[in-house]
Amino acid sequence: MNALRRIYAIFSKELTQLKRDRMTFGMVVMIPLIQLMLFGYAINTNVRHVPVGVVDHSNTGLSRILVQTVGATQVVDFIGHYDSIKEGEDAIASSKVRAILVIPKDLSQRLARHPTVGFGLPPSTDQETSRPVAHWLVDGSDTIVAGAIKSLRSMPLAELLSKPANRNVPTFEVTLLYNPEQRSAVNIVPGLVAVILTMTMIMFTSAAIVREREHGNLEMLITTPVRSIELMLGKIIPYMFIGALQVVIILALGYVIFDVPINGSLWQLAAATFLFITASLVLGLVISTIATNQLQSMQMTIFILLPSILLSGFMFPYEGMPEVAQMISEGLPATHFLRLIRGVVLRDVVIFDMRYDVAWLMLFTLAGLIIASLRFKKNLD
């Protein structure tokens, strides 16, 4: 009986402490709730409404009907028209679109020669003289998105042919750029850089101010002439080198073991990585000024890490998410860095061609640094 009373006393003490620790109690409720919402609602591998462009060399009524017919499938949304294939490929490289549909000048002739079931010449002759009616150029770095567009390869065109099509002959030719072999490692390894940096950078700095408080060093810092902004910068600079080392390790091993190419400039890669590392470190500092102990800082880090993995486009395509999930993902630094690093590593893009993501990371870093400095001053008071 005495043992039971002692166990009950400890149980009551822990329960009371948990009630007083509102942050921990909130995480106990919010983490499973958010995971349920992410996996059950936001995560969707059935990709729809993929943003694509069109290069219409035919520029006829038939070509416009073709675009409308393809768009009616709701697999793709045509958001841009380009005058040349080069412009379309540049749009793919900068992530403005995920594919372009190239419609040839001789569209009407190709439609007339397109083989049909029980019509015209024998199947072998039809297939020899016919050609696909149009050509898809697809960003193959994301295998799920590429697979969604490849599903249109043999779509019927009853509205244009006015007769049943022969499904043994593809309607569209499909060319996969950047990852023609559809190897998942090509997409995963650059994305893994974002996930690992998110986890480690935020974790390192989320406990920075909390650690000073728990070790009794905060009072000493108050008496020094160190300004808040100087303290924040001094906290994050050492971890920049650690983050750079992690990037080198991941990409080097990815190249050696999984044969993942690095097509872009190393300077462009370094610039994109610097932007993301600073944004993640500053986010960790903001967490550190909110948390009252290291346990809370770890919980809040997990709270940020889960959406960063699931909503950034690392595991599931951005296009497969509902609009609410996409809005949340746009607020995560990992989402913008994923676009940048995949653009540089896989598509040899110049990061200033992706100005939106660059500007967002810069503004996020600046805003976070200001918020962390102001909150630290408030703590000093």
Handedness of CA 161, 166, 167, 169 (dihedral sign): negative
Place of tokens 């709701």: 74
Amino acid at 377: K
Calpha distance 214→4 (Å, rounded): 33
Q: Walk across the sheet containing 50-56 and list its strands.
A: 76-81, 50-56, 99-103, 134-139, 172-177
Q: What is the pLDDT of residue 111?
A: 80
The per-residue pLDDT for range 200-251, each reduced to its tens digit, is 999 888 877 777 777 666 666 666 677 777 777 887 888 899 999 999 999 9
Tokens of 356: 């939106």
Q: If we measure between CA atoms, which residue out of 253, 118, 152, 144 comes closest to residue 193?
A: 253
Q: Quick one: pLDDT band at residue 120, thresholds 50, 70, 90?
A: very low
Please, which pLDDT band fits residue 24 given cuts at 50, 70 and 90? low
Residue range 162-192, pLDDT digits in tens: 544 555 568 899 999 998 888 888 989 999 9
Higher pLDDT, 112 or 256: 256
Q: Tell me the pLDDT band of 313, cut-offs 50, 70 and 90.
A: confident
Gyration radius from the chain CA atoms: 27
Among 134, 113, 130, 115, CA closest to 60: 134
> CB-hemisphere CA count at 13 Å for 266?
5
Segment 308-322 mean pLDDT: 83
In order of their start, the domains of the chain are 50-177 (3.40.1710), 183-380 (no CATH)
Q: What is the pTM of this model?
A: 0.81
Give the pLDDT of residue 166. 52
Please name every residue paired with 52 in a beta bridge, in sequence order, or none if there are none: 78, 99
pLDDT higher than 80, residue 96:
yes
Going from the C-alpha of 128 to that of each of 52, 102, 209, the distances in angstroms are 30, 22, 72
Confidence band of 321 (pLDDT split at 50, 70, 90): confident
Q: What is the pLDDT of residues 28-74, one digit of tens each?
A: 666 677 667 666 666 666 788 899 999 999 998 889 989 998 998 89
DSSP calls for 8-36: HHHHHHHHHHHHH-HHHHHHHHHHHHHHH
